[in-house]
Amino acid sequence: MDTEAVRLARRVSEGAVEWLGRMRGEFALPDVPEHEIDGNALKSLSELTLAAGMVHREAVAGRQCAATAESLLDYAWRQFKEGDMLYRLQTHTPAATHPMEMYALFAAAGYRHAALDGLTAHLTGLRASRVTEHVPNRRLALVASARRIGLPVLDDVDALIEQTWLGGTPEPWMLDVNNAYGVTHTVFHLTDYGSDPDGLPEHLQEYLRLWLPVWVEVFAETRFWDLLLEFLVVGTCLKSPLFFPHVWELVAQAQRDDGMVPNGLTVPPAEPEYAWLNHHHPTIGAAGTGTLAVSRALTLTAAGTGNAS
């Protein structure tokens, strides 16, 4: 990845983090009984946590951006009542997996809740947790969550991988948007968002090095930024990463002056609080993707192999 593309990726991600920082109020959980909180509200706040956690983990952001990310992590943790709410949600519905998945994002960033640690250790040890009927890539999310919390992984991970779309190495022209998000999440969970590229089996590395460039080209042509940003993350999660510098130029052009990155499907309203609804996800994606791209490019440069495409 060339210097200019690294600069663009940094600019995109820092602009996105600052927008998220200003828009944090939109991520606030509604004032309703906890078990009635809408799933989308929980999901948005979790994704904010994930992106801020990546900025925190990679530690390549400038001072202001790093401080904003830290404050967003604190903000999200407070929204979840410093873990108490997640604990109550998990006890209210023990078979649900989302409280543990959300807690794992905080645990990875050093936010711990002793009672949740005990509860999740108990639940993941049950036979029930081997047979949760999620889509296959979501099962891998549970494995990744257990790892982040520090719990033993009792699942047959190879068998779970084989059940995913990516694990089947299917005809690459059969990708559709739904399966594409399945592919990206399979890679995210197996590599813990790029922190462990070796977690992705060799044959899937090979498959993605062959076909990811095609998929990126197709979705760059349609300007579908939300999915495209996820594909860019996938590229940076590979052992020999793919950076797609020409796509970073397109993403940088698409980013609004205020830092928001539109989803590429719907036209964002001018007022950021209205635009938030449909465009916070790609902006979160941009924050995390840019951070990872910069971090991996710097690591490769330091290792003297910085010319990977």
Partner 1 sequence: MTTPHQPSPNTVETATCVLAGALSRALREDDRSFGVRHSLGDWGDGTGGLAALRVLGADVLTPFVLTGRPLPAEDAALVRTAVRAHPAPRLQARETALWGTRDAALVDALAAVGVDGAGWEGLAPAPPPNGGLAADWLSLAALLVPLASAAHPFADAALRAQLAGRGPDLTRGLVRSLLRRDLLSAARLARWIVLDGQSGPAGQPSRLAGPPLLAPALEHLEVLGSGDPRVLLEVAVARRLMAR
Min dist CB 171 to partner 1, Å, is 6
Say how many residues touch partner 1, by CB under 8 A.
18
Q: What is the DSSP string of 89-155?
A: HHHHSTT--HHHHHHHHHHHTT---HHHHHHHHHHHTSGGGGS----HHHHHHHHHHHHHHT----S
Binding of residue 173 to partner 1 (CB under 8 A) = yes
Is residue 303 within a helix (H) or strand (E), and if so which, with residue range? helix 272-303
Structure tokens at 154: 């009792």
**Cα–Cα distance measured from residue 217 to residue 20, given in angstroms and rounded to the nearest whole number:** 28
Q: Which of 84, 156, 198, 217 contacts partner 1 by CB under 8 A?
A: 217
Structure tokens at 141: 């999310």
Maximum Cα–Cα distance for the chain, whole Å?
Answer: 54
For residue 278, which amino acid is it? N
**Cα–Cα distance measured from residue 187 to residue 237, given in angstroms and rounded to the nearest whole number:** 7
Contacts of 298 (CB under 8 A, 6+ apart): 6, 60
Among the candidate windows 118-126, 137-145, 172-180, 296-304, which touches partner 1 by CB under 8 A? 172-180
Measured from the CB atom, is 249 or 258 closer to partner 1?
249
Binding of residue 175 to partner 1 (CB under 8 A) = yes
Length of the chain: 309
Binding of residue 202 to partner 1 (CB under 8 A) = yes
Measured from the CB atom, is 125 or 172 closer to partner 1?
172
**Cα–Cα distance measured from residue 296 to residue 267, given in angstroms and rounded to the nearest whole number:** 32
Residues between 221 and 250 that touch partner 1 (CB under 8 A): 221
Q: Which of 67, 214, 269, 273 contacts partner 1 by CB under 8 A?
A: 214
Min dist CB 247 to partner 1, Å, is 13
Min dist CB 158 to partner 1, Å, is 15
Min dist CB 201 to partner 1, Å, is 9
Q: Which of 74, 198, 206, 249 contacts partner 1 by CB under 8 A?
A: 206
Among the candidate windows 46-54, 87-95, 138-146, 204-212, which touches partner 1 by CB under 8 A? 204-212
| Residue ranges binding partner 1 (CB under 8 A) | 169-173, 175, 202-203, 206-207, 210-211, 213-215, 217-218, 221
